[in-house]
């Protein structure tokens, strides 16, 4: 079986514990205007052309066996560091059967797998991966259903329901909250998100402060980046937000 792979990033330290390899899958059904991986939104192959003249192509249908053979080269690093492989994107759950097959093959080799998902898919699709994946990183962006619908183009009710079901199934789930200035960083917005997460019985909340590291990718794609002039939150702001989440959850800043 093949997966639509954007790229494979080795020695990743920001996508889970230990040394990991992140397999970025191409295609996403949400449209977060601050996304720092815009090359993974479209499922179509794309080539980014930078001002320096450098060109990078993303998007290749790749057999799961070839992916396994690639990432397994670093298995000793995974074992020694408590790492493994993370499936990210884009949205891995738009390719559930391939993601499940890859996860099964990695589990058979005793490689830990994390799936990073925004959760906006029918829950039945998770059945393809849950037998082989114990940990999910689950993005949760706002408690405001209207903003989910109009800005992110997602269904908050479906997403929250999926979060509840994954946790109830016994999986280790980390809620991941991007901290986007002017969108979800106010005290009320943070408390509202916490209230939602508590209904899902979340234990872990990972905070991801906004950054502009993806700005050059938008330029290379010829796409306007709406957040190019947005200033990342200050340390003081992030610390204050962490205090709010820390009242309810085991909280980490990524």
pLDDT band at 86 (very low <50, low <70, confident <90, very high): very high
- Per-residue model confidence (pLDDT) at position 231: 96
- Residue range 7-49, pLDDT digits in tens: 999 998 889 999 999 999 999 999 999 999 999 999 999 999 9
Alpha helices in 74-155 (DSSP H): 75-81, 96-108, 145-147
Mean pLDDT of 67-86: 97
The residues that bridge with 47 in the sheet, in sequence order, are 57
Mean pLDDT of 37-62: 96
Residue 42: φ, ψ to 5°:
-75, 145
**For the residues 53-62, what does the mean pLDDT come to?**
96
The tens digit of pLDDT for each residue in 115-159 reads: 999 999 999 999 999 999 999 999 999 999 999 999 999 999 999
- Site of tokens 């903003």: 147
Q: In the predicted model, what is the mean pLDDT of residues 95-116?
A: 98
Please, which pLDDT band fits residue 234 given cuts at 50, 70 and 90?
Answer: very high
Confidence of residue 180 (pLDDT cuts 50, 70, 90): very high
Q: Quickly count: other Cβ atoms within 10 Å of residue 247's Cβ.
A: 10
* pLDDT attached to residue 14: 82
pLDDT of residue 13: 80
Instruction: Write out the CATH class of domain 2-253.
Output: alpha beta
232-235 CB contacts, 8 Å cutoff, 24+ apart: 232/181, 233/179, 233/181, 233/185, 233/209
Burial group, residue 253, by CB count within 10 angstroms (0-12, 13-18, 19+)? middle
Q: For the chain, what are the domain ranges?
A: 2-253
pLDDT of residue 100: 98
């Amino acid at each position: 079986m093949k997966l639509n792979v954007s790229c494979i990033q080795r020695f990743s330290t920001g996508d889970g514990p230990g040394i990991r390899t992140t397999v970025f899958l191409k295609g996403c059904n949400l449209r977060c205007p601050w996304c720092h991986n815009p090359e993974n939104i479209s499922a179509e192959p794309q080539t980014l052309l930078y001002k320096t003249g450098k060109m990078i192509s993303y998007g290749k249908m790749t057999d799961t066996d070839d992916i396994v053979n690639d990432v397994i080269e670093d298995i000793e690093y995974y074992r020694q560091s408590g790492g493994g492989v993370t499936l990210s994107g884009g949205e891995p759950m738009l390719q559930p059967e391939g993601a499940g097959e890859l996860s099964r093959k990695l589990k058979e080799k005793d490689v830990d797998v994390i799936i990073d998902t925004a959760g906006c898919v029918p829950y039945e699709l998770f059945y393809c991966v849950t037998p082989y994946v114990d940990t999910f990183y689950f993005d949760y962006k706002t408690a405001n259903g209207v903003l989910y619908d109009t800005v992110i183009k997602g269904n908050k009710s479906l997403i929250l329901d999926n979060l509840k079901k994954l946790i109830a199934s016994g999986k280790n789930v980390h809620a991941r909250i991007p901290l986007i200035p002017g969108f979800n960083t106010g005290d009320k917005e943070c408390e509202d998100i916490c209230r939602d997460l508590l209904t899902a019985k979340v234990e872990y909340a990972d905070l991801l402060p906004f950054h502009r590291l993806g700005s050059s990718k938008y330029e290379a794609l010829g796409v306007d980046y709406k957040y190019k002039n947005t200033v990342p939150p200050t340390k003081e702001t992030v610390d204050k937000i962490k205090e709010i989440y820390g009242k309810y959850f085991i909280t980490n800043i990524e």
